[in-house]
């Protein structure tokens, strides 16, 4: 039995401040831009105000990209366009500045943090700060064996909680969350299918590099077989993560929940983060109020998970690369919403924009010169 009581998160997580949100909505009504003219940007600004408990909303000044990394044994079945065990190479490319997330983060001035939970590579080949939370080398092949032991799942979950605390304590005010994994979308598909009560084919996508039809069929079969192993443990979310998740997914789930506890907003990237968020919702139903969906990646599992959580993606650019790139693309939109909500002036009290006639002197009454005003 695990010593971790996930039910505590239900009590610890509060919703964003509803009273502050109403104040933000009232302020929107007084701004010079008519309500609705800025579309979803208005809603985003009000969501941020509630999350911050501040009107006007504070600017997003210290965002951070956090990427959880791991290799999944199921990748050995040929379910990914990348070779099994190659996530470590991707991590090194991110660190060296050669991946899309690296370019975007550099352009936006956002630091990137990578947390190795289960990479199948020599820990000495990566910086100590990256590997210090590693639980194991690679997660198990979920179609025939557990991804983790229960103790490993608990350790990974607690690591995610610790990373969330570190970010909140350091002053991070918004997180763009992503993953660097090989085989991660397969594990994510299993979690989504299990929690949504659907079949493997409904959640099986083609991954970041668009696998061919044969690989898609192998992936669908792997998700189907893993689903049989997932269904008996649906009532225990930590056991579910141990059975068909992985160390990176368990850590992301803990991270998301603790961010909600610490009132730290998170932008979700793709299907892997969406699957972890869905597990988090099952643990604490108020937690999704602290998360935004960055974009529609085209993965059916992501669409299923976001629909279940009532989260609508901010963007639809067809980005499938993962690694937090989609979350970073959405960041300027969130920052723009905060700026507009805070900096747009309010209408003057006598502006005449309320439907009342303006006091312009053109009323037919005598003017100061004694002549009647022209009509």
Residues in the chain: 375
CA distances from 336 to 44, 181, 316 (A): 9, 31, 18
pLDDT of res. 346? 84
Residues with a catalytic annotation lie at 323
30 against 126, higher pLDDT: 126
Q: Does some domain include residue 350?
A: yes
**Pair 200, 68 in one domain:** yes
| pTM attached to this predicted model | 0.90
Average pLDDT, the chain: 91
Q: Does some domain include residue 2?
A: no
What is the mean pLDDT of the segment spanning 96-117? 96
**Pair 100, 198 in one domain:** yes
Q: What is the pLDDT of residues 112-166, one digit of tens each?
A: 999 999 999 999 999 999 999 999 999 999 999 999 999 999 999 999 999 999 9
- Per DSSP, the residues of 317-346 read ------TTHHHHHHHHHHHHHHHHHHHSPB
CATH number (domain holding residue 32): 1.10.1610.10
Q: Does some domain include residue 51?
A: yes
Tell me which of 26-30, 222-226, 280-284 is least confident: 26-30
Q: What is the pLDDT of residues 286-336, one digit of tens each?
A: 999 999 999 999 899 999 999 999 999 999 888 888 889 999 999 999 999
Domain boundaries, position 30: 14-58+345-375
Rounded CA-CA distance 161/137 in Å is 20
pLDDT at 229 over 70: yes
174-182/266-268 β-pairing: parallel
286 against 3, higher pLDDT: 286
Beta strands (DSSP E) in the chain are: 63-71, 112-118, 174-182, 266-268, 291-293
**Pair 273, 354 in one domain:** no
Rounded CA-CA distance 44/48 in Å is 6
Sign, CA torsion 347/348/354/355? negative
Tell me which of 240-254, 313-327, 360-374 is least confident: 360-374
pLDDT of res. 28? 85
**Pair 309, 168 in one domain:** yes
pLDDT of res. 350? 62
Q: Per mean pLDDT, which of 267-271, 296-300, 364-368 is the most reliable?
A: 267-271
pLDDT of res. 2? 65
**Pair 45, 178 in one domain:** no
DSSP annotation of 72 reads: B
Tell me how many domains the chain contains: 2
Q: Does some domain include residue 229?
A: yes
CATH number (domain holding residue 227): 3.40.50.10210
């Amino acid at each position: 039995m695990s010593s971790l009581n996930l039910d505590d998160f239900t009590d610890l997580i509060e919703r964003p401040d509803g009273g502050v949100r109403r104040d933000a909505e009232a302020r929107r009504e007084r701004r010079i831009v008519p309500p609705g003219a800025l579309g979803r940007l208005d809603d985003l600004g009000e969501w941020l105000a509630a999350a911050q408990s501040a009107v006007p909303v504070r600017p997003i000044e210290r965002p951070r990209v956090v990427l959880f990394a791991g290799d999944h044994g199921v990748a050995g079945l040929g379910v990914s366009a990348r070779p099994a065990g190659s996530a470590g190479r991707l991590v090194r490319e991110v660190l060296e500045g050669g991946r899309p997330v690296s370019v975007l983060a550099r352009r936006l001035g956002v630091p990137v943090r990578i947390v190795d939970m289960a990479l199948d590579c020599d820990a000495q080949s990566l910086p100590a700060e990256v590997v210090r939370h590693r639980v194991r080398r690679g997660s198990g092949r979920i179609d025939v064996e557990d991804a983790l032991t229960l103790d490993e799942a608990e350790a990974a979950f607690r690591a995610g909680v610790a990373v969330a605390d570190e970010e909140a304590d350091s002053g991070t005010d918004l997180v763009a969350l992503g993953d660097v994994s090989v085989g991660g979308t397969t594990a994510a598909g299993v979690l989504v299918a299990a929690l949504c009560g659907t079949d493997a084919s409904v959640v099986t996508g083609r991954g970041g590099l668009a696998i061919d039809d044969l690989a898609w069929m192998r992936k669908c079969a792997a998700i189907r077989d893993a689903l049989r192993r997932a269904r008996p443990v649906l009532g225990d979310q930590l056991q579910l993560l141990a059975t068909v998740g992985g160390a990176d997914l368990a850590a992301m789930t803990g991270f998301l929940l603790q961010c909600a506890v610490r009132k730290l907003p998170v932008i979700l990237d793709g299907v892997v983060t969406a699957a972890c968020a869905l597990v988090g919702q099952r643990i604490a139903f108020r937690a999704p109020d602290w998360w935004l969906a960055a974009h529609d990646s085209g993965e059916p599992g992501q669409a299923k998970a976001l629909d279940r959580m009532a989260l609508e993606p901010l963007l639809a650019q067809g980005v499938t690369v993962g690694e937090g790139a989609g979350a970073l693309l959405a960041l300027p939109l969130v920052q723009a919403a905060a700026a507009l909500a805070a900096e747009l002036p309010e209408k003057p009290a006598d502006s005449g924009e309320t439907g009342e006639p303006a006091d312009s002197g053109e009323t037919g009454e005598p003017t100061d010169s004694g002549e009647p005003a022209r009509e």
